[in-house]
Structure 1
Amino acid sequence: MIFTGFEGEVPDETTLCRFRGRLIELGLLETVFKQINKDLENKGIKINPSKGAVVDATIISSAARAQTQLNGVVTDREEPITVECQNPQRSFDDEARWLKKGEKYFFGYKGFVVTDSNHGFIEHVHMTSANVSETRELKAVIEGLEMNCLYGDKGYASLENRELLKSLKIEDGIMHKAARNRPLTATEKEQNRAISGKRFVVERCFGTIKRQLKFVRASYCTRIKVEGQMILKAIVFNLLKAFHITKHIVRYA
């Protein structure tokens, strides 16, 4: 096969699908992802995220088309409601959920990523139903990751999350959020501007994954399969970024 050094014919689509499904079933995709990242670090292309990381989430539409819409859909960054759907059995994807973002409605999942704050290499992928609160999910997203500082937008601003970072000895880079009768101070506004300047790497990451890697909509149903697809997209994203970095180094060497 071209560039791989493997001999023999290219596996057909069914074989590749079964192999991918087997990796997901055995929970090996995350292991492959971590090994590729480690190899990039060993080659000096990727910087260890311990110096700083950025967290954010994006909506991934379900492969299934829900045949009924919710009454009282959860609005993005608000807590989930108790009654989610009158006829959930009518969707082929029982784990996908409705979410209202702005004036638009989405049925699907929420994909979280943690990137390094330098080049924006993806370090970790975490998938939930779309209606899951970003504020309450931070602990699960960063579990097991090592970093000195974590940057995040206002969606992660809560006393619990700030205490979590403090307990993990991680510098708090979460933006400040104004509350009723409590506007932001001049210092908090300045800190928000500084943090915003660090977050562009994760926003650019989502732009590439959705536009270039065509991941606006999932190809499969169920959370674990959609997460597996996002991990594969993350691998491609990191390798693509590594290629551009090495190409730049060679050009100016």
Structure 2
Amino acid sequence: MTHKQMTLSAQADAGFDQFRKPTRRDVFLSEMDKVVPWSELCAAIEPHYPKVREDGSGRRPIGLERMLRIHFLQQWYALSDPAVEEALYDSTSMRRFVGIDLGQEGAPDETTVCKFRHLLEQHGLADTIFAVVKAHLSKQGMKLSQGTIVDATIIAAPSSTKNRDKKRDPDMHQTRKGNQWYFGMKAHIGMDKATGLVHAVTSTAAHVADVTQATELLHGKERHVYADAGYTGADKRDTKRGRHWHIAAKRNLIKRIQDPKLRDLHEHIEHIKASIRALVEHPFRVIKRQFGHTKARYRGLAKNGAQVKTLFALANLWMARKRLLATTG
């Protein structure tokens, strides 16, 4: 706060806090405030952020870290641009996290929030955010191992044609999973087997086969790759020697084995492989259940792909928060 004395608004909040029990939101935001590498992220984004004009004219841009904090609030709580503006006026814990004192200033409006998101999209800064977080975690000792688990999840998109163009998003497509059809996109990830952290993310339309993204999800130094039956044939596409692919066998192939003992042995091996692959469900659960990202918010694969990559960067920080807090205090 710039002034030595708190404003009446801040004093009221502080007085109320004397008898206030911390909520789960308070605890979550406090932890994330400590584990997010704010200085590194701001340094990476700053070259693309608007500067104050030399003649002093024009509107002074809002602080970069403040806008980044608001952007992350949108990801953590699945908030649209208007919704995050309203939430900042409604939630004391969110204002404290962003650093807003309503006694001195208002929250950035939805247009400002939208422009910042477009700035990130225009310069491909979701990739930068993901890379900075990955480097930060590596510095903290969470380095990549020799095992990668690859998988994909479907993220639904609005199928309604009640829009200006009178048609569905052309970047999204439908696909069948089991006996059910889905319309939307896929998020493909490569997860480190040892740390449980995501080290690669790609996005495609929902109808794109998982196997086409397999080699894009590898960091190059792994010796073992674990995947479900959707990646059958990925080992034949891999040009690197010495890398072992552990791909789930299709159920109909197991059932065809006539010898009961041999079939039981194969089923036991498949159970072991499945128990390893199950670890990859945790990052998906974080972005879908913890952060509430169950549907594509924007129109077009590029915008939604950028959001997905940011979500997995933040999911990595959330999953590693206990280890990070233990080292940083």
Q: TM-score scaled to structure 2, two decimals?
A: 0.60
What is the root-mean-square deviation in Å for CA atoms of aligned residues? 3.0
Task: Pick the aligned partner of 2:126 from 6, 9, 29.
Answer: 29
Larger radius of gyration: 2
Partner of 1:232: 310
Partner of 1:150: 225
Larger RCO (CA within 8 A; separation ≥ 6): 1
Is 2:259 the partner of 1:164? no
Q: How does 1:128-207 map to 2 (within 5 A)?
A: 128-139=204-215, 141-142=216-217, 145-158=220-233, 161-165=234-238, 167-178=240-251, 182-183=256-257, 188-207=266-285
Question: Structure 1 stretch 31-40 or stretch 191-200: which is displaced more?
Answer: 191-200
Alignment map for 1:32-181 (pairs within 5 Å): 32-44=129-141, 46-48=142-144, 50-62=145-157, 64-67=158-161, 90-139=166-215, 141-142=216-217, 145-158=220-233, 161-165=234-238, 167-178=240-251
Identical aligned residues as a percent: 27
Could you report, residue by residue, the CA deviation over 1:161-195 in whole angstroms, capped at 9, with x for unpaired residues?
A: 11234635322122222556854855543332222
SS of the residue 1:55 aligns to: strand
Unaligned segments of structure 2, at least 5 residues: 2-29, 40-64, 67-98, 101-106
Label 1:189 to 1:60 Cα distance change in 2 as closer, same or farther (>3 A): same
Q: Residue 122 of structure 1 aligns to which amino acid in structure 2?
A: V
Cα distance in 1, alignment partners of residues 151 and 120 from structure 2: 26
1:150 is matched by which residue type in structure 2?
V
CA, structure 1 residues 39+217, in 2 after alignment: closer, same or farther (shift >3 Å)? Answer: same
**CA 1:15/1:169 → structure 2, altered by over 3 Å: closer, same or farther?**
farther
TM-score, normalising length: structure 1: 0.76
**Regions of 4+ moved over 6 Å:** none
Unaligned runs of 5+ in 1: 69-88
Distance 2:212 2:204 in 1: 12
CA 235–220 in structure 1, closer or farther in 2 if over 3 Å, else same: same
Structure with more helix by fraction: 2
Hey, what does 2:324 align to over in structure 1?
A: 246
Question: In the superposition, relative to structure 1, how do residues 196 and 213 fare at CA in structure 2: closer, same or farther (>3 Å)?
Answer: same
Report how far residue 13 of structure 1 moved.
3.5
